[in-house]
Amino acid sequence: MKDSISIHAAPKPSGSNKKLERCTPKQERSRAIVNAIKQAGLLILKEDGPSKLTTTRISDRAGVSVGSLYRYFSSKEEVVAAIYEEQTKDDLAFVERVTPWFDALKKMPLEVGIRKIIECSIERHRSMMSLHGEVYLKSHRDYSLGSQLSSSLLTTTIRDFLECNRDSLLINDLDKTAFLIARGLSGMLRMTLDEEPGYIKDDSFVEELVLLFTRYLCAETGYKHSIEAEMKPKGCPDWIDAAI
Amino acid sequence: MKDSISIHAAPKPSGSNKKLERCTPKQERSRAIVNAIKQAGLLILKEDGPSKLTTTRISDRAGVSVGSLYRYFSSKEEVVAAIYEEQTKDDLAFVERVTPWFDALKKMPLEVGIRKIIECSIERHRSMMSLHGEVYLKSHRDYSLGSQLSSSLLTTTIRDFLECNRDSLLINDLDKTAFLIARGLSGMLRMTLDEEPGYIKDDSFVEELVLLFTRYLCAETGYKHSIEAEMKPKGCPDWIDAAI
């Protein structure tokens, strides 16, 4: 956490932080209060869990009055949103700063690198879910790093990583493969957060994802194209027709 | 297309069809007008393309006055939304009705079946994009079949299909694998529509997806776990820490 927080620079998911927009904390004191509230909220979430989060507890722990809290946040949900925004901003700044991590990735053997990419994505979702699962599952799209990273840094890095391992790869198109790993994985995880959030916490799901991508990259399939099935139901839409 | 359309049964994406909600077409005549407007809009989109779609042209072709059109739709965009809703309703009804297609899938060799599943998903996106690409790319989540299919029909069907091919599979957990194919694929395609829509029209992208899933299902990888890289940048967040 930083000592002072620039409220203006924080990403603003739709519908949240109306109070923050109205009441711009231009002075050092305002910023310190907002910062203290966010830090207090974060500590309560980490130490006591979301069920213990109330505006009274947050303001107590931050050492400010409940009235002060309500000057900047209309509800505890807005405090949680601000904590997620802050976390996302910090994570984004970190990822864009740490070239050593990206350099390390390039030097990794293929499966190790792929595993790191998948584990990092999953671990970030786990870490965010552990703060306030209910809020995160509803709003995880607002706190995605991949869609905010400058000029598709992730896809480019993964493309470079694949390029370094070119000889081991059984793929045709580095750009499409890098996109599938960088962004396709992210799409899969978003869908999993929406429909099977339990899988995110399940290590055997991570193993399935590692298998999916490592086999794609460097495995030969025993299967060859087979005869097409002839069956075609009556009155089928164009898109089924085209696919059968 | 059906002769008459039940407006009430249509899914209502947020923000659209306010007029439809206010002005319920209880009488046969109202339903016939709404239906004629949707059919006229669909024909213009298919024959002349989205740039030729205007409320005047729609009402001319539907044989109703512009005033009648505005009784039910506030803009041409609302007509497009209603066309997409109707299309989605038809596709959904079709998919839920055609057990022959699902039975055919079960009898297909593994790679053929996987290819069909991928091609069907892609073809439906292509077909929807061809009507009005700009509107579809903005709103494709509202017209997803998978999330509306009754009791995860798609995941269950794919699970059954995998079960029929169990001997050829190198996977551990049928449920997770079926989820990755049924819904993970859908998450990947949504991300692709958002970030690289050109790939949806690109046949070589379809081939990459076929490779991704067929190799996962029935390929052996030459790779084994290798030594973990030791490098860890300073001040890295918990989720990077956990993954390194």
Residues B213, B127 within the same domain: yes
Both tokens of A192, joined, read 């999993």
Is B144 part of the contact surface with chain A (CB cutoff 8 Å)?
no
- One-character DSSP codes across A86-126: HHHHHHHHHHHH-HHHHHHHHHS-HHHHHHHHHHHHHHHHH
Q: Is A219 helix (H, G, I), strand (E, B) or coil?
A: strand
Residues B132, B61 within the same domain: no
When divided into structural domains, chain B yields a total of 2
Interchain proximity B123–A239, CB inside 8 Å: yes
- pLDDT tens digits, residue range B32-77? 999 999 999 999 999 999 999 999 999 999 999 999 999 999 999 9
pLDDT at A12: 42
Residues A107, A179 within the same domain: yes
- ipTM score of complex: 0.79
Nearest chain B residue to A96 by CA: give it.
B236
Residues B122, B56 within the same domain: no
Domain carrying residue B74: 7-78
* Beta strand residue intervals within chain A, DSSP E: 219-221
What CATH number does residue A71 fall under?
1.10.10.60
Interchain proximity B216–A218, CB inside 8 Å: no
* Pairs across A and B, CB distance < 8 A: 226
Q: How many other CB atoms sit within 10 Å of the CB of residue B3? A: 7
- Reading chain A (244 residues) residue by residue, the pLDDT tens digits are 333 333 333 344 444 444 455 555 567 889 999 999 999 999 999 999 999 999 999 999 999 999 999 999 999 999 999 999 999 999 888 887 777 777 888 888 888 999 999 999 999 999 999 999 999 999 999 999 887 887 678 888 899 999 988 888 888 899 999 999 999 999 999 999 999 999 999 999 999 999 999 999 986 544 433 333 344 555 666 666 655 5
- pLDDT tens digits, residue range A35-57? 999 999 999 999 999 999 999 99
Q: What angle do CA B195, A91, A177 make, to 5 degrees?
A: 35
- pLDDT tens digits, residue range B156-169? 889 999 998 888 88
Residues A199, A106 within the same domain: yes
Residues A50, A106 within the same domain: no
Interchain proximity B212–A107, CB inside 8 Å: no
Interchain proximity B208–A110, CB inside 8 Å: no
- pLDDT tens digits, residue range A163-200? 988 888 888 899 999 999 999 999 999 999 999 999 99
Q: At what angle do helices A185-195 and B185-195 cross, to 10 degrees?
A: 120
Burial letters A10-24, b for 16+ CB under 10 A, else e: bebeeebbeebeeee
Q: Is there a domain that residue B60 lies in? A: yes
Burial letters B173-195, b for 16+ CB under 10 A, else e: eeebbbbbbbbbbbbbbbbbbeb
Interchain proximity A222–B219, CB inside 8 Å: yes
Cβ-nearest to B191 among A104, A173, A187:
A187
Residues B203, B120 within the same domain: yes
